[in-house]
Structure 1
Amino acid sequence: MFFFQLLLGSAAAVKLEELVFNKYLLKDLATLSPHYQTYDLEAFHSLLNQFAPKMTAFHFQAMNGRVLLAVMHFNENSNRQSKISRDGKEQYSIHYPKYRKGDPIVRRIKTAPTHSKLPFVL
Structure 2
Amino acid sequence: METLKKFALFCVFCLGALVTVYQSWGVMLMAFPSVIWLHKPLGVIHTNKYIALLLWLVILYLNCLFATAAALTYFFIHVWHLHQQNIPTNYSSRSKRTPRRINPSTGLLMKNRHFDIAGNAYGWKSD
Flag the structure with higher strand content: 1
Is the TM-score greater than 0.5? no
What TM-score range do you get, normalising by the shorter chain? under 0.3
The higher radius of gyration belongs to 2
Q: TM-score, normalised by structure 1?
A: 0.22
> Normalised by the size of structure 2, how large is the TM-score?
0.21
Q: Which structure is higher in helix share?
A: 2
